[in-house]
Amino acid sequence: MDKIIIEGGTPLTGEVTLSGSKNAALPILSACVLTGGWHTLHNIPALRDIWTIKKILSNLGVVFEEDGQTLRVNSDNLKSHVAPYQLVRTMRASILVLGPLLSRLGKAKISLPGGCAIGARPIDFHLKGLSAMGVDISLEHGYVVARADKLRGAAIFFDIPSVTGTENLMMAAVKAEGKTTLNNAAKEPEVVDLANMLNHMGAQIEGAGTDTITITGVKELRPVTYSIIPDRIEAGTFLVAAAITKGNVRIKGCRVDDLEAIVEKLVDSGVKIEKQAQDLIAQGNDSIKSVDIKTMPFPGFPTDMQAQFMALMSIADGWSMIRETIFENRFMHVSELRRMGADIEINAGQALVRGKSNLSGAQVMATDLRASACLVLAGLAAKGRTEISRVYHLDRGYHDLDGKLSLLGPKIWREQY
């Protein structure tokens, strides 16, 4: 296994280019199951979750041709409708093949994702929506077994907006008979990216990016050439990296509108952020002001940036209240940050962070994807040496974060242990 080692205290300077969005690429790759022919997808990030979805799709009979960040995908010869436990257990988003398989083959058997480190994360909304569309669903030996002779449009209401739930139902609905309405749908940019890709395929989807998405079923879809949006969580992570090290970093190729909530909080904390065309330039301030955050569905502050922001707040002036409203157990980075000297108290879904003037390097362990990014950021700012083990969590969702950071000046490298 790899660990990341950081000698902290160097302000980051220079420029960095973002990779494609993991959370957009996962549903878009799954959507290639909807119709045969060669799809060409640009800006696919090279990271572990993409490898996992490719593995799941290969298992179904999908074939790939890879050329750097471009992936050609063909699902002409599907030979299976099963996503097995060994693959699904490593990535909950594997459930994204359920909708496309039902649309294409009328059947799917997907392992239940099981427990997850950051909370219960059920899939009941996915299943309830599909059953309203005429899918017969049973749970057998740890698998969701779903069958439908014909998918029909339905009016579906989400109790809470669910990102992959919205995506799964959108994909199930594109060729269903009649109209499907998704109410209280997720508005995340990744949902919009998928809808745009599906519309290029010939789907009729309206309202993506709003609370209500309407999908009118079509008879035929065609393969597409499509480019994935840049990763807004990677962008946010580099913005915090500039802030926490009091550096100056140009982040190239951002979609600034997707980053409003993050940028606003960073500006409140004293970071100077300038927009130049598609780039954001972040200049950290010597003194970091404490600000409160509350995670919310888009356009609110993303839960996927909560851990990274907490690292910043742990060296801010004053107290910060961080409320997590999306995933109940997403504070596992707290005990590791405390090992680096952070003063954080957790009470009923909120963390009270009392900013300290310094963090100190320590041996820490990554517990989930965004928690690993939080520890890398803390290590960049800390005095002395930080060693982060179990960084396979980081590799699930970032394309070479440590490599990209090392080009901005700090001493950061990997070793095997």
Binding residues for ligand UD1, per CB under 6 A? 23, 26, 92-93, 119-126, 160, 162-165, 186, 190, 303-304, 326-327
DSSP state, residue 12: P
Determine the 3-state secondary structure of 94 from DSSP.
Answer: helix
CB of 362 to ligand UD1, least distance (A): 27
For residues 6 and 379, is the Cβ–Cβ distance under 8 A?
yes
- Closer Cβ to ligand UD1, 125 or 398, answer by number: 125
Please compute, for residue 78, the number of CA atoms within 13 A of its CA located in the half-sphere on the CB side: 25
Active-site residue, 116 included: yes
Dihedral sign from CA coordinates of 230, 53, 369, 406? negative
Residues 123, 162: Cα–Cα separation, whole Å: 9
Least Å from the CB of residue 110 to ligand UD1: 13
Please list the alpha-helical segments (H only) found in 202-324. 232-244, 260-268, 306-313
Q: What is the C-alpha to C-alpha distance for residues 253 and 280, in angstroms, rounded to an integer?
A: 8
**Pairing mode, if any, of strands 350-354 and 343-347?**
antiparallel
In the bound complex, what is the minimum distance in angstroms from residue 134's beta carbon to ligand UD1? 19
Nearer to ligand UD1, 57 or 93 (CB): 93
Q: Which of 32, 116, 254, 374 is catalytic?
A: 116
Residue 327 vs 331, nearer CB to ligand UD1: 327
Q: Between residues 87 and 281, which has the closer beta carbon with respect to ligand UD1?
A: 87
- H runs (alpha helix) in 136-283: 163-173, 189-200, 232-244, 260-268
DSSP-based three-state secondary structure for 78: coil
Distance of CA 174 to the CA centre of its chain: 23
> What are 89's two structure tokens?
């257990």
> 338: burial class by Cβ within 10 Å (0-12, 13-18, 19+)?
middle
Q: Of 190 and 395, which has the nearer Cβ to ligand UD1? A: 190
Nearer to ligand UD1 by Cβ, of 94 and 290: the residue is: 94
- Residue 219, Ramachandran bin (φ over 0: left; ψ between -120 and 50: alpha; else beta): alpha
**Alpha-carbon distances, residue 11 vs 273, 361, 373 (angstroms):** 16, 16, 17
Q: How far is the CB of 414 from ligand UD1 (least distance, A)?
A: 24
Query: CB atoms < 10 A from the CB of 88, how many?
Result: 23
Shortest distance, CB of residue 234 to ligand UD1, whole angstroms?
A: 12
Q: Catalytic site residues?
A: 116
